[in-house]
Amino acid sequence: MARARTPSRSNHELVFRSARKGEEGTLATAAYRAFQAGDPEAWLRYFTEHAHLALDNVIVAETDGQLVGHVSSLDLTMSFAGADVPFQGLASVAVLPEFRRRGIADRLVRESLRRMRRRGEALALLHPFRLSFYRRFGFGVCELRDVVRTSPDRLPDSVLRRHVRAFSRPRDEPLIKQAYDLARTETTGQLKRSEYWWDVRVFKRSQSGAVYVDPGSKAIAGYLLFDVPEGGAYGVQQLLVRELRAPTPGAYRGLIGFLGALGDQYEVVELVLPRGYGAPLLDEPGIRDEPIAYETAARHPGLCPPVHVAHRRNVLGLTAAGAMGRIIDVAAALALHPSPRKHGVRGAIGLDVEDPVFTDAPRAFDVTFAARGVQTAPGSTAGDRLSLSIERLTQIYFGATSARDLLSQGFVVGSAKAAALLDAAFAGPPLFLGVFNGF
């Protein structure tokens, strides 16, 4: 009697596995070919020296024994309204050029999210190459940045700039780190930085800067680090502020005043700031390299007969999308958030959550905000409920938008009382990572 043949794998079946020791060179080559950025040696150091990357968290896609793509997941910790919260940084989603448009990147991201969930991770963040690609996996834009790009003389002056001096790494490095840690307090999104992060991700990328010395304590109370792109002549150079950390009003005004005094040398100063910080800096319209005014036609009913009048809109800066976020595990993520307990929020709501990746997981939750924290369980008994996607829940969670606004816009459906309670629970500083906390 003939033995039944076991079905064999297709010659081109895609297989996923964790990276192995000794494959770092292959991973680096694939990343360099996929991105055509940096250099192969830098990518090799990424896979061999990165303090937050374990090879077990690098997922490889291969077919016919050939590595065709990979994705990494970094173990990181960020400030979250006064607490330190762990999260996974999704990075280096790389597919070889000759294997594009086959769904490999899509499957890599889904596999990475599933493995995060199995490991008990609650949150993930990433920096997208295209927003629409990551929205399909439930990621939502959670970091909004104010980008101010202006002439130095349009920044507000301050006599406090006299307390600003040049940054010297040998002298100031430990003091800069202390100032950064102080500035992390009560923020959301500032990474807990290892020595690796300070050396490789910060100081090696920016050698120039300035510090604000408090006139009373004589201690460094704030700092900024910047780059000056090559090629510009004196008077028309650009100064790109990569990091500005000033936990006190005096330090902030002093450092901004320092930048405002540089108009003889720099034509442009660019700052990347948390949402809402840009508008108070400028009192004249005009953003560098963009139209200085937008004309909009509006029907003016006060004139007789009513006519269309062109209105000038003064442009002070722009809002840019930063990091995207995703809740991996609803119950675990709600338990991590420090604000509900801090604000003393009490009450019960229901959440009906749509998730495009974890389709077999519970989608209906009963959530109780109590003195001991947030208790979340599968169920649909709570009367005041909201129905929403995991993307929208994540945006509310990180303070990128409010449940009440989404409810009024039709992106969330359900109870106004539940939306108000959710907003009260997650009230706090909005997510802001900035340039040097990018990964």
438 within some domain: no
In a 10 Å sphere around its CB, with 0-12 CB exposed, 13-18 middle and 19+ buried, how is residue 231 labelled?
exposed
Q: Both 227 and 195 in a single domain?
A: yes
Q: What is the CATH number of the domain that holds 408?
A: 3.30.1050.10
Q: Both 408 and 352 in a single domain?
A: yes
**Residue 14 has what pLDDT?**
94
Q: Tell me the residue range of the domain where 92 lies.
A: 15-121
Q: Both 170 and 262 in a single domain?
A: yes
Q: Both 295 and 383 in a single domain?
A: no
In this prediction, residue 64 has a pLDDT band, given cuts at 50, 70 and 90, of very high
More confident residue, 249 or 301: 249
Query: What gap in Å lies between CA 204 and CA 317, rounded to an integer?
Result: 29
288 within some domain: yes
Q: Which residue type does 85 have? A: V
Q: Which of 107-116, 121-130, 159-168, 288-297 has the lowest mean pLDDT?
A: 288-297
Q: Both 216 and 269 in a single domain?
A: yes
Per cent of the chain over pLDDT 70 is 89
**Tally of domains within the chain:** 3
**Residue 11 has what pLDDT?**
52
CB 239 within 8 A of CB 268: yes
6 within some domain: no
Q: Both 100 and 181 in a single domain?
A: no
**Residue 50 has what pLDDT?**
97
Q: Both 92 and 154 in a single domain?
A: no
Token pair 């995991």 is at which residue? 390
281 within some domain: yes
In this prediction, residue 62 has a pLDDT band, given cuts at 50, 70 and 90, of very high
Q: Both 158 and 254 in a single domain?
A: yes
Q: Both 152 and 246 in a single domain?
A: yes
Q: In the predicted model, is pLDDT for residue 223 greater than 90?
A: yes
For the segment 338-374, what is each residue's pLDDT rounded down to a tens digit? 999 999 999 999 999 999 999 998 899 999 999 988 9
Domain limit, last residue, from 320, 349, 383: 320
**Residue 301 has what pLDDT?**
46
Token pair 């490889």 is at which residue? 60
436 within some domain: no
Mean predicted confidence (pLDDT) in 303-308: 48
**Which residues, in sequence order, are CB contacts of 123 under 8 Å at separation 6+?**
85, 86, 87, 88, 325, 326, 327, 328, 333, 336
For the segment 110-134, what is each residue's pLDDT rounded down to a tens digit? 999 999 999 999 999 999 999 999 9
Query: What gap in Å lies between CA 367 and CA 349, rounded to an integer?
Result: 5
Helical packing angle, 40-49 and 24-35, nearest 10°: 130
381 within some domain: yes
In this prediction the pTM is 0.89
Q: Both 52 and 67 in a single domain?
A: yes
In this prediction, residue 168 has a pLDDT band, given cuts at 50, 70 and 90, of very high
For the segment 24-45, what is each residue's pLDDT rounded down to a tens digit? 999 999 999 999 988 899 999 9
Q: In the predicted model, is pLDDT for residue 184 greater than 50?
A: yes
133 within some domain: no
Q: Which of 164-178, 293-307, 395-409 has the lowest mean pLDDT?
A: 293-307
Backbone angles phi, psi at 116, to 5 degrees: -60, -45
In this prediction, residue 293 has a pLDDT band, given cuts at 50, 70 and 90, of very low
Q: Both 409 and 386 in a single domain?
A: yes
Q: For strands 66-80 and 83-95, give the pairing.
A: antiparallel
Q: In the predicted model, is pLDDT for residue 297 greater than 50?
A: no
Per-residue CA distances from 327 to 92, 110, 174 (Å)? 20, 14, 35
- Which among 361, 331, 351 has a CA at the least distance from the CA of 403? 351
Per cent of the chain over pLDDT 90 is 82
Q: What is the CATH number of the domain that holds 50?
A: 3.40.630.30
Q: Both 287 and 334 in a single domain?
A: no
141 within some domain: no
